[in-house]
Amino acid sequence: KDDINNNSFVQFQIWDFPGQIDFFDPTFDSDMIFGGCGALVFVIDAQDDYVEALTKLNQTVTKAHKVNPRIKFEVFIHKVDGVSDDFKMESQRDIHSRATDDLIDAGLEGVHLNFHLTSIYDHSIFEAFSKVVQKLIPQLAALENLLNLFIHNSGIEKAFLFDVVSKIYIATDATPVDMQSYELCCDMIDVVIDLSCIYGSRDNPDVPAFDNQSSSIIKMNNSTVLYLREVNKFLALVCIIREESFSRQGVIDYNFLCFREAITQVFELRFKHQKLEAIEQDSDNLEDLRDFERGDVISSMKRFQD
């Protein structure tokens, strides 16, 4: 079990079960395992005989859905590196068809499985986990709307809001995600972190070299600019901009400050919501709870809407 707590949005636990462990054994507490589960990721080896894996997938989904119908089911078709595109598509089609048919036979027509082609030799595994994590973020719609407003008013082609530690993007704008663009943005984060660690804060090693003042500009040979700005010490906004649009950098920087302020307000609302949940669980005084709702939460919502 690993705790992931990089920022206010990416906060969760990962429970890793090796394939040979049978967690349907009576010694395992299924209610404890699946009761608080937000997403279940099932990994299938695309280069192996996956008939047995599909049987285990069906058993797992059936049991987990019975315990917690709100679980989101994600299937990673893994190790697709070194194979042809035709093989990838055929494997995904075959696994999707068999898994869906098995669920229908089990009377689980309403359960939806999401499939992702992944490999550790490119950024597909990061993109797949990005899509999984995004489904667990209640504020995703607000983040996407903010990004859409930001790129529309700044002349930006594409923008990603990254969790710097994991390189998972927790939100992006409405334009389609291109794998090559995503890989460039990931590589840019690596470059900025490496250079910051080498040259930053040499006089005071206790001060993080990578903070909310960090920024970077990389000009590509195809008249494209990669622009990175830190939202806070855990989140970075990475943008892809045409060179002619980047001539208005002052406007882009001003819009970014507005975007960062709005993100901060979303953070505050999330904190208020978590505090409200804690009061609901611990407080016996309902009138105090109503005062809290009317006061702090509503006033925060008004600030965010303004």
Same domain (yes/no): 96, 216: no
The answer as to whether 77 is a domain residue is: yes
Same domain (yes/no): 169, 114: no
pLDDT of residue 296: 44
pLDDT of residue 97: 94
- Please give the residue range of the domain that contains residue 154: 140-269
pLDDT of residue 282: 58
- Dihedral of the alpha carbons of 282, 284, 286, 289, in degrees to the nearest 10: -30
Q: Which residues pair with 116 in a beta bridge?
A: 76
The answer as to whether 101 is a domain residue is: yes
Same domain (yes/no): 144, 265: yes
pLDDT of residue 173: 95
pLDDT in tens, the chain (306 residues): 565 665 555 667 787 777 777 766 777 777 888 888 899 999 999 888 889 899 999 988 998 899 999 999 999 999 998 888 898 999 999 999 999 999 999 899 889 999 999 999 888 999 999 999 999 888 889 899 999 999 999 999 999 999 888 888 999 999 999 988 999 999 999 888 888 777 766 666 565 666 667 889 999 999 999 999 998 878 899 999 999 999 999 999 999 999 999 988 887 777 777 667 666 655 544 444 444 444 443 343 334 333
Same domain (yes/no): 149, 258: yes
Same domain (yes/no): 126, 171: no
Q: What is the CATH number of the domain that holds 176?
A: 3.30.450.190
Same domain (yes/no): 51, 77: yes
Last residue of a domain, one of 109, 136, 163: 136
Same domain (yes/no): 191, 164: yes
The answer as to whether 12 is a domain residue is: no
The answer as to whether 274 is a domain residue is: no
pLDDT of residue 23: 66
Burial class of residue 218 (count of CB atoms within 10 Å of its CB; 0-12, 13-18, 19+): middle
Contact 128, 88 (CB under 8 A): no
Please give the tally of structural domains in the chain.
2
Same domain (yes/no): 153, 191: yes
3-state secondary structure the chain: CEEEECCCCCEEEECCCCCCCCCCCCCCCHHHHHHCCCEEEEEEECCCCCHHHHHHHHHHHHHHHHHCCCCEEEEEEECCCCCCHHHHHHHHHHHHHHHHHHHHHCCCCCCCEEEEECCCCCCHHHHHHHHHHHCCCCCHHHHHHHHHHHHHHHCCCEEEEEECCCCEEEEECCCCCCHHHHHHHHHHHHHHHHHHHHHCCCCCCCCCCCCCCCEEEEECCCCEEEEEEECCCCEEEEEEEECCHHHHHHHHHHHHHHHHHHHHHHHHHHHHHHHHHHHHHHCCCHHHHHHHHHHHHHHHHHHHHC
Same domain (yes/no): 150, 97: no
The answer as to whether 10 is a domain residue is: no
Same domain (yes/no): 199, 212: yes
Q: What is the CATH number of the domain that holds 87?
A: 3.40.50.300
The token duo for 16 is 């890793």
The answer as to whether 215 is a domain residue is: yes
pLDDT of residue 304: 38
The answer as to whether 87 is a domain residue is: yes
The token duo for 104 is 């229908």
Last residue of a domain, one of 136, 166, 201: 136
Same domain (yes/no): 236, 167: yes
The answer as to whether 179 is a domain residue is: yes
Residue 77: Cβ within 10 Å count? 23
Q: List Cα–Cα distances, 264 to 125, 271, 303, 304, in angstroms.
A: 29, 11, 11, 9
Last residue of a domain, one of 136, 164, 192: 136
pLDDT of residue 113: 94
Same domain (yes/no): 257, 149: yes
